[in-house]
Amino acid sequence: MKKTSTRLADGRELLYYDLSDDAARDARDGRPLPPVRTASEIRTDRLLGESVIVASHRQDRTYHPPADACPLCPSRGGRRTEIPADDYDVVVFENRFPSLTGGAGRCEVVCFTSDHDASFADLTEEQAALVLDTLTDRTAELAQHPGVEQVFCFENRGEEIGVTLTHPHGQIYAYPFVTPRTERMLRTTAEHAERTGGRNLFDDVLDEERADGRRIVLAGEHWTAFVPNAARWPYEVHLYPNRRVPDLPALGDAARTEFPQLYLELLRRFDRIFDGRGGGNGAGGGGESDPVESPTPYISGWHQAPLSADNRGDFALHLELFTIRRTSGKLKFLAGSESGMNVFINDVPPEAAAERLREVTSE
């Protein structure tokens, strides 16, 4: 992997991550961009003790541009975009409309491929490995930024999720605080250790799922993908390395090598859940005569240990992948119970979801 750093016309950093060491990245951003003017504020919910980001400037961010005006495509044919080069493997740059500003954290955009019409599932294993290496490098570098407490790498896919740019891309948030979800996981991990004489909660969950087997979707030598016993979303899969590590930089070489194969297969199965090509009528699935739907909308995120947590070593790196589509043509909305009280109601039994995902192999 070759990494090249440059600057956009308004001063934001852009980094190329190339498969070839011979890649030359000398194209300049010739756009007449004004300096980035942003303002975000982190407030605390006094009743819950949770951080909330207020970022009014994001109201003006680019919204559903046509394909020939996509800002994440390479600069070609006289049209200048966020990426000055006429082609690229993976690109990372500072978000022009960041949620975190003013030195309190950092928001980055990760473009997985220059192909506007592709998706992550269309990548080769070599390309997917490069994305993993890129996220690892960014995690390690952002961890060194003053004030950063947690690094979250994620992908939103599909208009139903709220994506405003359809080009295959993800984001990285370097939070200046520990997120509420992670704080709760650390707390329950500590409580479990105290209750069980020092046992690790993440290890026990993985061991129990592997022993039970009903919710396992994919299992390799170094990774296990399963639907959690109390899944919140209709189709939700957690992907764990079989050896616990706190974050992406701590992953071993063997796990890195195996990851692209399992993750690409998992994404391809997600794209087949509702299109009727999996055979049979699984939970939420259709028969062979059902029409092919749009690609499954999903959110995929890497959960990593906070940087300064006392029990950081007890946290287990894992990826959580889920869709808000609950059956063909229907979405799971977060209504009164979920939005008002954070009590999820799942219409698809986790065991049925796992069975469906086992059915819809991509081969």
- Residue 262, CA distances (Å) to 129, 154, 203, 279 in order: 11, 17, 20, 21
State the average pLDDT for the chain: 92
Asked if 241 and 95 sit in the same domain, the reply is no
Q: Report pLDDT for 297.
A: 96
Mean local confidence (pLDDT), 151-166: 95
Parent domain of 236? 180-359
Asked if 184 and 169 sit in the same domain, the reply is no
For residue 16, the domain's CATH number is: 3.30.428.10
Asked if 92 and 203 sit in the same domain, the reply is no
Domain tally, the chain? 2
Asked if 235 and 166 sit in the same domain, the reply is no
Asked if 60 and 189 sit in the same domain, the reply is no
Last residue of a domain, one of 175, 190, 214: 175
Residue with tokens 């909660």: 201
Q: What is the pLDDT of residues 169-192, one digit of tens each?
A: 999 999 999 999 999 999 999 999
Q: Report pLDDT for 293.
A: 67
Q: Report pLDDT for 309.
A: 87
Asked if 202 and 86 sit in the same domain, the reply is no
Asked if 91 and 203 sit in the same domain, the reply is no
Last residue of a domain, one of 175, 194, 216: 175
Q: With 80 as the cut, is the pLDDT of residue 286 above it?
A: no
- Residue 249, CA distances (Å) to 112, 142, 252, 256, 291 in order: 19, 12, 8, 10, 42
Last residue of a domain, one of 127, 160, 175: 175
Asked if 204 and 171 sit in the same domain, the reply is no
**Cα separation, 181 vs 205, whole angstroms:** 17
Q: Report pLDDT for 103.
A: 74
Cα torsion angle, 82, 84, 88, 89, sign? negative
Q: What is the pTM of this model?
A: 0.93
pLDDT band at 64 (very low <50, low <70, confident <90, very high): confident
Q: Report pLDDT for 276.
A: 52
Residues with a catalytic annotation lie at 169
Q: With 90 as the cut, is the pLDDT of residue 287 above it?
A: no
Q: Report pLDDT for 283.
A: 43
pLDDT band at 288 (very low <50, low <70, confident <90, very high): very low
Asked if 162 and 190 sit in the same domain, the reply is no
Asked if 114 and 234 sit in the same domain, the reply is no
Asked if 134 and 195 sit in the same domain, the reply is no
Q: Report pLDDT for 173.
A: 97
Q: With 70 as the cut, is the pLDDT of residue 29 above it?
A: yes
Q: Which of 6-15, 66-75, 210-219, 292-301 has the lowest mean pLDDT?
A: 292-301
Mean local confidence (pLDDT), 301-325: 96
Asked if 192 and 232 sit in the same domain, the reply is yes
